[in-house]
């Protein structure tokens, strides 16, 4: 799906502790429900109380694991990871979980986020004469913990947290313990729930916990450390929550599964409200409201209910498109070969159409979609976006692209409209978006506003190591 | 997706003739849009006017082909095939297209359908001392054509058609010609369109032709033969259409893409009508209408519009489930690990829910879905099916399962309701279904009624050869 | 090993009947010992008395099969095949065993050889209106048997044999019987032995039968039919042996394993005699005799023993070169990158060296070998070949290359010597070769003499079908 | 080949510096010639002067690399590695080269050998609060260098060498330099040669350098550091050579390619001398001398020449046995299925046979070989081994097995003879072995004598990390 014009989240993490179970397969099913957060690589590390085994590779969860491999991962403690990354640095050595040996025994980590001071921390570690065997944050995080003071892993994590600036939703695995920690800003989500078999599971999204049957799911709080081991679930304050928490708004807009609950809000309902708010801010006279499937379906439903304009399908998405699919040549594209979406002329012909989409990033896919609708007979096409223009890159673990790549950095809304070729284009206002979410603070909107919640001391590019 | 309780179509076919193009990749993109009709195997045969090359293998279209393989399939004429079949006979030698050498040169075939007299025809061929190198109909069809009288391939096809009893939407490839033919009953769909590059394309569904940019798409008529070669498109009457044509109603209910047009009807609109008709026949007081995604979305939209009850999502389908995915053990299932669908408690809690589903075949998946909804807080769950109970197996190319496997063969509607555990269960009536389609004849409804349009002289099981 | 200058045999066959065993794995181990006869594809068909299952694919035996696949091949009767073929026709549909359904039940065949009248027979079959689904002889052979008269498979084979002109060592599998037959000329080898578990095995070479533990191994006679089933081993005369049998001399020279026995002769000993005879015909004064490993080792041993000149290694062959190995670019070759052979300067320096090689076909590898020896310090290099110059293509199942490709067709011995760059070049005489074998008749020497034992009515090229 | 009763070397290393070449493919061909030193995993790291790219995976060299992968490894400096290891620790994270980022830039290492004080060094590093991301020596070596003092990599290597106790033949890659170093004892081989294209290559064995066309090959001296970069080849004394060097005798006996030169001795000639010495120490009256192919061929040739007893083949080795080959079940073995070797009855029948083998480790394969010879008709079988009994494990990088596994640790020669079932068994004496080599000191014979050249402070087992 890599040519869709969407930001890319960089990871999904999971952790399981279940004293009487072989948890590798539970981790597998949980990871599977986090596949949308990273389709490039996957890994699971498991401990049986004595030895940590791990398996990880490039590919989808279903490609990386099979029953034979899972059978070689015995134990009742596990962490797992799905990874997205740009092609450049997509080498095996950056695939997580990342496992090292320390003076306190083995330690594995899986990470969702991005440390904005990774460059500085990296320099400090290297100047101590320590080598780092991966270019991602994970080697850095584990190496800092390996040398941290403290009598237990939770103390070492707690003692190291003040040094980490940026977004981190982390899970750790030691011989006999699972740890999870979320940065005090709460940039990226992380939830914990109870497994029906006894034990607990932690995952980037509550939707993943639902898939593996969890109950009593709650969010891990900003700054909170959770420990899972023979003592059960223990919660510590790692750091006090930031005065202004900075949850990623884009989790509501696009990243999270619609069946996830975050900040005590149903993501699906937030998206319905985003659609309703779009109508309130910008009521368009039209005959039909259609989503760009699948991510914009809830917002289109919300728009339709608020406006009374009938909801229907306009696009049919081809379901089997995978990473390895051959792309049509430019020549075939010009001849009309269009793989992602077909249109429904029967629903569109002579209609005034409102298309709901979640975001415009580079702006290269909206134009062809508008063209498909017109070819199918749509009389008018009005494109409504459930968030403001994205004009600033993200340094908290999301690949939005660079400034130059962001169309809203280069063009006004009117210029974008003309470039795309729709009859009208409307972006939801920042206020409208927050109104739809139902919160007036506590979120990071830096990609819309450029106001970064913490100072970004350097450009931490993903391929930093190779420079 | 093989554990979903759905009938399985047995094939999708495509054929391309484009004098100045390398058509293998067009065939590939067209096949890709037919992937839902067969996920077990795929193949393409191509002719450059002199030699036929082919490539076929078990797997999805995107797994069977890559750019290197497509580059080894040069030529401007092609046919292709996607195949579904039960595990038993899933051997490579039944994968299509099926290619033989004849006295008139090479001949390849791809077939969607099922000959009900295949057993008898097979016996006749074998008793002539001829061997058949595949157990599917394809070896039979080509062998009959190899020995047919006639001065051209279209004549030979025409002369052989009277012997074929049953469902056949066929495409043939010779050195310099593409042929397509549809049985006089018109059981299975087949359409032809013009390629923007010049030339023509034929596919099981118009949705596939849309994907490759076709215009002026029309259905190939029951009994019609289409020839594509240097003379352009030529249409012949192979056999006169049956007095009572017998299009498969299930193409409207479930098989066809919603963006396909068949019998001059938009499949998506027919499904909306099916939903509306369900409401008319059985108005249920409720708070929300939800589909079982993805196939029942149009019908749920139709139901909602007819009833005024709000349409919304209740299930979220996991998108990455593939054929090779590991299934949860029974023990994990009992603990609540549920891979296919998550639910949206925020939309369902304390609601009276109408669930629209297209069909119930074996009846083993509806129960768990109802349970998921109740667990998510639904107060009432009413299941409405967009067709009548399926009580009879299909002999025209669809794998419905045997009589014993069909739940409606063993149980009354009330018994099914209790078995599934919903508050009410309603199947659309035969009349309502035909009303929604907008035709009062011309369709095969044998799986509902047991009235087969042609006599089935024997049970033609798929593994017949090995017996 | 495809760039070595050697003729290619086209196949190895095996057949097993063992009433109380699962024979697929025995067939596998037997095929493995025939891998040298065909490295392009492999297949096994097995019957449990009721159903024939088969598995075949491109690749080495060890790549095509694994324990899971073997487990899906149940039964006590099996045939197997390893295949070599040129790239052009290396498609899956020519991979053997070839399985068809006939009026008498299923029939599978595996074939080593080549019918010289295949073109004519093919035409006859096609003109009857029968299609042939593979371009190799196997489809033809089975189709002829499917239509043959006779009350049993052995009768049908017997009745059809008179029509087959050329080389055929064949094994057949039916539901409950294994059959083997050898052409009356006896071109290609075929042996039968008793399995220690009870039952029998048949293989192209006795060396393969040794590997699977057989005892009382004997050759199947030219024209003999062997049947293996519940009645035990039955031998029939299919056709009387040809007055002049025509065993392939090259089986002794190069093809057969040195541990095989053929024509009641140990192949290793025949090769020793060939070396001894080379010395007798052409005694060269030298310090060391070395083989081109591995095929020429026995002849070099024989030469050394006859001459008293010390035997030693001069070349060390890299053992891990496989089909998929990357070849050095021409630029790297010019820089001395030489993958196949390293030299032993310690054995060669300042020595007069006799190199024994089995044959020169295209003549493109001998020159580089001579150069390697000179670079290692050899003072003189004398190349002795254990057979006469090959100047004529083979039509009996061996790929020697075409006339134009054969260096001895274009050049005199002296020209070849100069082209290769050795100090002397000697080819064993035809008489010397036959003296070493110990027979003065009964062998086909057409590749040396151009006297074909049966008229070749047309050039039966391997890619005939596609023309 | 893993069931052959042989010790396993743990690695082969290669390094290339060639200013105007793309060296990845040269490294590939060089590694290929080192495949016998490690068949479990392979890797290459390449620098273009700015960035280090690497690729490594489990599998043979020909499986791990293909042209697409090599094309993604641009640059004129490279190191490579082939790895053997026991199954237990065969995880991807121990595959080499091992690459880290340091304060001085990226550093990659490939290692052949074993540090006997790795456990102690590991503890020191860990107790500094540094984590180690692989359980092999490689992470340790690079981490020590990352923190070493010195203004250049050669200084840092020099300054760290005094801490390394044990066997190490190492190659390092930095952005713009290749380094190689050998421990002062000289346990494992390492040679350097000039490439015809300009530049230099370093490899574990000179045979590998011959394969890639090198000239002027010389051994890197014990304690020597070689630097290759824009300044050309620079040699430094890292440490003075040990007073008593301790080259591994087993490189002569078994590990090294016969075409390698080590300690200025041709390995092939040393093996011939070992055979001759065996005859001198233990002259046996016999009719034929045969090797256990391939490793014992030179010694058998030497024995034959010294004794005058004719040399010949007795075993024929199956050439296609690979790592993934299915093994016969015990039941099939009992029935005589024997994959590795066939015998030549024609050479063995009624003969008194001397079998030359290089070593006996666990003792489980000699018995079956003797049985095969007897079954082939051998009248007497005398087994002569080209080294003394191996009774002590190796801690210098060779997997001999543990004490308990070594048959000579548990049994006397006479007991072994009876266990194996030969008529006589003779092991070459330590003195005879050294006489054959032509040196009376400078070699490590600890596996025969138990006199380890350096104190082994702990059992450094390969799976130490996981304990």
Q: In the prediction, which pLDDT does A332 show?
A: 85
Please give the residue of chain A at the shortest CA–CA distance from B344. Answer: A259
Q: Can you tell me the distance from the alpha carbon of C39 to that of B226, in angstroms, rounded to the nearest whole number?
A: 44
Q: Which chains touch C (3 or more CB pairs under 8 A)?
A: B, D
> Using the beta-carbon criterion (under 8 Å), do A65 and B326 form an inter-chain contact?
yes
Q: In the prediction, which pLDDT does B322 show?
A: 62
Q: Can you tell me the distance from the alpha carbon of B133 to that of A66, in angstroms, rounded to the nearest whole number?
A: 34
Choose among D431, D450, D427: nearest CA to D439: D431
- The alpha carbon torsion through C334, C340, C345, C348 (nearest 10 deg) reads -110
Task: Confirm or reject contact between D159 and chain A (CB < 8 A).
Answer: no
Task: Confirm or reject contact between C22 and chain D (CB < 8 A).
Answer: no
Choose among B11, B189, B139: nearest CA to B84: B11
pLDDT in tens, A60-80: 898 899 998 999 999 999 999
Q: In the prediction, which pLDDT does D460 show?
A: 44
* B98 strand-pairing partners: B109
Please give the residue of chain C at the shortest CA–CA distance from B123. Answer: C103
Q: Can you tell me the distance from the alpha carbon of B91 to that of D244, in angstroms, rounded to the nearest whole number?
A: 66
Q: Which residues in D lie closer than 8 A to residue C319 (C-beta atoms)?
A: 35-36, 294, 319
> Using the beta-carbon criterion (under 8 Å), do A147 and D133 form an inter-chain contact?
no
> Using the beta-carbon criterion (under 8 Å), do B133 and C134 form an inter-chain contact?
yes
Q: Which residues in B lie closer than 8 A to residue A70 (C-beta atoms)?
A: 326
Structure tokens at B263: 């019998």
Q: For the residues B428-444, what does the mean pLDDT come to? A: 97
> Using the beta-carbon criterion (under 8 Å), do A297 and B313 form an inter-chain contact?
yes
Answer yes or no: are the C-beta atoms of B169 and B204 closer than 8 Å.
Answer: yes
State the nearest Cα–Cα gap between C459 and chain D, in angstroms.
34
Q: Can you tell me the distance from the alpha carbon of C185 to that of C239, in angstroms, rounded to the nearest whole number?
A: 10
State the nearest Cα–Cα gap between B235 and chain C, in angstroms.
26
Q: Which of A173-182, C402-411, D325-334, D394-403 has the highest mean pLDDT?
A: A173-182
State the nearest Cα–Cα gap between D212 and chain C, in angstroms.
4
Q: For the residues B122-131, what does the mean pLDDT come to? A: 94
Task: Confirm or reject contact between C65 and chain D (CB < 8 A).
Answer: yes
Q: Can you tell me the distance from the alpha carbon of D259 to that of C375, in angstroms, rounded to the nearest whole number?
A: 14
Q: Can you tell me the distance from the alpha carbon of C342 to that of A80, in angstroms, rounded to the nearest whole number?
A: 48
Task: Confirm or reject contact between D87 and chain A (CB < 8 A).
Answer: no
Q: Which residues in A lie closer than 8 A to residue B28 (C-beta atoms)?
A: 326
Structure tokens at C43: 């297949």
Catalytic residues of D: 11
Answer yes or no: are the C-beta atoms of A182 and A169 closer than 8 Å.
Answer: yes
Burial class (CB in 10 A: 0-12, 13-18, 19+), B409: middle
pLDDT in tens, D85-111: 643 344 677 789 999 999 999 999 999
State the nearest Cα–Cα gap between C245 and chain D, in angstroms.
25
Task: Confirm or reject contact between D124 and chain C (CB < 8 A).
Answer: no
Q: Can you tell me the distance from the alpha carbon of A376 to that of A363, in angstroms, rounded to the nearest whole number?
A: 21
Of A45-54, A86-95, C410-419, D179-188, the poorest mean pLDDT is in A86-95
Task: Confirm or reject contact between B96 and chain A (CB < 8 A).
Answer: no
Q: Which residues in D lie closer than 8 A to residue A163 (C-beta atoms)?
A: none
Of A189-193, B198-202, D321-325, the poorest mean pLDDT is in D321-325
> Which residues, 6+ apart, have CB-to-CB distance to D4 below 8 Å?
D340, D365
Answer yes or no: are the C-beta atoms of C225 and C238 closer than 8 Å.
Answer: yes
User: Which residue out of C21, C194, C326 would a mutagenesis test of the D interface target, given it has the greatest number of D Cβ atoms within 10 Å?
Assistant: C326
> Using the beta-carbon criterion (under 8 Å), do B99 and C93 form an inter-chain contact?
yes
Q: What are phi and psi of C357, to 5 degrees?
A: -130, 155
Band of pLDDT at residue B325, cut at 50, 70 and 90: low
Q: Can you tell me the distance from the alpha carbon of C268 to that of C284, in angstroms, rounded to the nearest whole number?
A: 23
Task: Confirm or reject contact between A154 and chain D (CB < 8 A).
Answer: no
Choose among B207, B251, B174: nearest CA to B17: B174
Name which residue leads in pLDDT, A28 or A87.
Answer: A28
Q: In the prediction, which pLDDT does D462 show?
A: 38
Task: Confirm or reject contact between B102 and chain C (CB < 8 A).
Answer: yes
DSSP letters of C45-113?
EEE-SS-EEEEEEES-HHHH--HHHHHT---SEEEEEEE---GGG--GGG-SSEEEEETTEEEEEEEEE
Q: For the residues D223-250, what does the mean pLDDT come to? A: 97
Q: Which residues in A lie closer than 8 A to residue D75 (C-beta atoms)?
A: none
Of A142-156, A252-266, C189-203, D49-63, the poorest mean pLDDT is in D49-63
Q: Is the pLDDT reported for residue D310 higher than 80? A: yes
pLDDT along chain C (467 residues), means of 10: 59 95 95 92 96 91 91 96 64 84 96 92 95 87 96 97 96 98 97 95 97 95 98 96 96 96 97 98 98 96 98 92 72 84 97 97 92 97 98 88 90 97 98 97 96 72 34
> Using the beta-carbon criterion (under 8 Å), do D126 and A146 form an inter-chain contact?
yes
Q: For the residues A432-438, what does the mean pLDDT come to? A: 98
pLDDT in tens, B140-153: 999 999 999 999 99
> Using the beta-carbon criterion (under 8 Å), do C318 and D33 form an inter-chain contact?
yes
Q: Residue C129: which of B91, B123, B147 has the nearest Cβ?
A: B147
Q: In the prediction, which pLDDT does B332 show?
A: 85
Q: Residue A344: which of B213, B268, B336 has the nearest Cβ?
A: B268
Q: Is the pLDDT reported for residue B361 higher than 80? A: yes
Answer yes or no: are the C-beta atoms of A135 and A89 closer than 8 Å.
Answer: yes
Name which residue leads in pLDDT, C344 or D327.
Answer: C344
Band of pLDDT at residue D324, cut at 50, 70 and 90: low
> Which residues, 6+ apart, have CB-to-CB distance to A124 below 8 Å?
none
Q: Can you tell me the distance from the alpha carbon of C355 to that of C417, in angstroms, rounded to the nearest whole number?
A: 13
State the nearest Cα–Cα gap between C102 and chain B, in angstroms.
5
Which residue matches tokens 């089933």? C229
Answer yes or no: are the C-beta atoms of A355 and A311 closer than 8 Å.
Answer: no
Structure tokens at B267: 């499949």
What's the maximum distance between 2 C-alpha atoms anywhere in chain C? 71
Q: Can you tell me the distance from the alpha carbon of D156 to that of D147, in angstroms, rounded to the nearest whole number?
A: 9
> Using the beta-carbon criterion (under 8 Å), do B107 and C134 form an inter-chain contact?
no
Please give the residue of chain A at the shortest CA–CA distance from D126. Answer: A103
Q: Can you tell me the distance from the alpha carbon of D467 to that of C314, in angstroms, rounded to the nearest whole number?
A: 48
Q: Is the pLDDT reported for residue A465 higher than 80? A: no
Q: Residue C298: which of D63, D210, D313 has the nearest Cβ?
A: D313
At least 3 CB pairs under 8 A between chains B and A: yes
Task: Confirm or reject contact between D215 and chain A (CB < 8 A).
Answer: no
Complex confidence, ipTM: 0.93
* A383 strand-pairing partners: A355, A425
User: CA-based Rg of chain C, rounded to a whole angstrom?
Assistant: 23
- pTM, whole model, 2 decimals? 0.90
Q: Residue D29: which of C29, C266, C328 has the nearest Cβ?
A: C328
Q: Is the pLDDT reported for residue D199 higher than 90? A: yes
Task: Confirm or reject contact between D297 and chain C (CB < 8 A).
Answer: yes
Q: Residue A339: which of B29, B257, B268 has the nearest Cβ?
A: B29
Of B167-176, C148-157, D336-345, the poorest mean pLDDT is in D336-345
Name which residue leads in pLDDT, A93 or B183.
Answer: B183
Structure tokens at B17: 């003739």
> Using the beta-carbon criterion (under 8 Å), do B320 and A344 form an inter-chain contact?
no
State the nearest Cα–Cα gap between C345 and chain D, in angstroms.
8
State the nearest Cα–Cα gap between A125 and chain B, in angstroms.
39
Task: Confirm or reject contact between D438 and chain C (CB < 8 A).
Answer: no
Burial class (CB in 10 A: 0-12, 13-18, 19+), B88: exposed
pLDDT mean across residues, chain D: 91
pLDDT in tens, A386-395: 999 999 999 8
Give the N- to C-terminal CA distance of chain A in Å, as an integer: 29
Of A21-35, A347-361, B81-95, D146-160, the poorest mean pLDDT is in B81-95
Please give the residue of chain C at the shortest CA–CA distance from D33. Answer: C318
Which residue matches tokens 């380890």? D452
- Residue D404: CA atoms inside 13 Å, Cβ hemisphere, count? 0
Q: Can you tell me the distance from the alpha carbon of C165 to that of C453, in angstroms, rounded to the nearest whole number?
A: 11
Q: Residue D465: which of A93, A101, A467 has the nearest Cβ?
A: A101
Q: Can you tell me the distance from the alpha carbon of D401 to that of D169, in angstroms, rounded to the nearest whole number?
A: 22
Q: In the prediction, which pLDDT does B268 show?
A: 98
> Using the beta-carbon criterion (under 8 Å), do B130 and C143 form an inter-chain contact?
yes
Structure tokens at D234: 């620079």
Band of pLDDT at residue B4, cut at 50, 70 and 90: low
Domains located in chain C, CATH noted? 8-255 (3.60.20.10), 264-438 (3.40.50.2020)
């Amino acid at each position: 799906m890599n040519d869709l014009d969407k930001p890319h989240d960089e990871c999904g993490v999971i952790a399981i502790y279940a004293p009487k179970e072989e948890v590798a397969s539970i981790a597998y099913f949980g990871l599977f429900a986090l596949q949308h957060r990273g389709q490039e690589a996957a890994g699971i590390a498991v401990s049986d109380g004595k030895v940590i085994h791990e398996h990880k590779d490039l590919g989808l969860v279903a490609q990386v694991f099979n029953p034979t491999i899972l059978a070689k991962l015995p134990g009742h403690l596990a962490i797992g990871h799905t990874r997205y990354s740009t092609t450049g640095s997509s080498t095996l050595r950056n695939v997580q979980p990342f496992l090292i040996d320390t003076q306190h025994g083995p330690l594995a980590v899986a990470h969702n986020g991005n440390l904005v001071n990774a460059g500085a921390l990296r320099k400090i570690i290297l100047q101590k004469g320590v080598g780092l065997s991966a270019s991602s944050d994970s080697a850095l995080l584990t190496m800092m913990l390996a040398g941290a003071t403290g009598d237990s892993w939770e103390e070492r994590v707690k003692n190291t947290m003040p040094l980490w600036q940026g977004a981190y939703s982390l899970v750790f695995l030691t011989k006999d313990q699972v740890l999870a920690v979320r940065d005090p800003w709460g940039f990226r989500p992380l939830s914990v729930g109870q497994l029906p078999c006894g034990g607990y599971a932690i995952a980037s999204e509550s939707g993943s916990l639902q898939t593996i049957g969890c109950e009593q799911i709650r969010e891990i709080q900003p700054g909170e450390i959770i420990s899972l081991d023979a003592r059960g679930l223990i919660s510590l304050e790692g750091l006090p929550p930031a005065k202004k928490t900075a949850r990623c708004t884009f989790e509501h807009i696009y990243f999270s599964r619609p069946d996830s609950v975050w900040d005590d809000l149903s993501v699906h309902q937030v998206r319905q409200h985003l659609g309703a708010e779009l109508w309130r801010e910008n009521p368009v006279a039209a005959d039909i409201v259609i989503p760009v499937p699948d991510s914009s379906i809830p917002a289109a439903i919300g728009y339709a209910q608020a406006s009374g304009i009938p909801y229907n399908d306009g696009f049919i998405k081809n379901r089997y498109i995978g990473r390895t699919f051959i792309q049509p040549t430019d020549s075939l594209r010009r001849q009309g070969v269009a793989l992602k979406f077909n249109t429904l002329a029967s629903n569109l012909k002579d209609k005034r159409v409102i298309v709901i989409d979640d975001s415009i990033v580079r702006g290269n896919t909206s134009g062809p979609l508008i063209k498909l609708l017109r070819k199918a007979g749509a009389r008018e096409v009005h494109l409504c976006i459930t968030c403001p223009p994205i004009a600033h890159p993200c340094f908290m673990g999301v690949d939005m692209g660079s400034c130059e790549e962001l169309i809203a950095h280069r063009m006004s809304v009117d210029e974008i409209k003309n470039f795309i070729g729709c009859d009208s284009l409307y972006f939801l206002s920042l206020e409208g978006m927050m109104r739809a979410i139902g919160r007036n603070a506590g979120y990071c909107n830096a990609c819309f506003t450029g106001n970064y919640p913490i100072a970004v001391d350097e450009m931490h590019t993903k391929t930093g190591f190779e420079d």
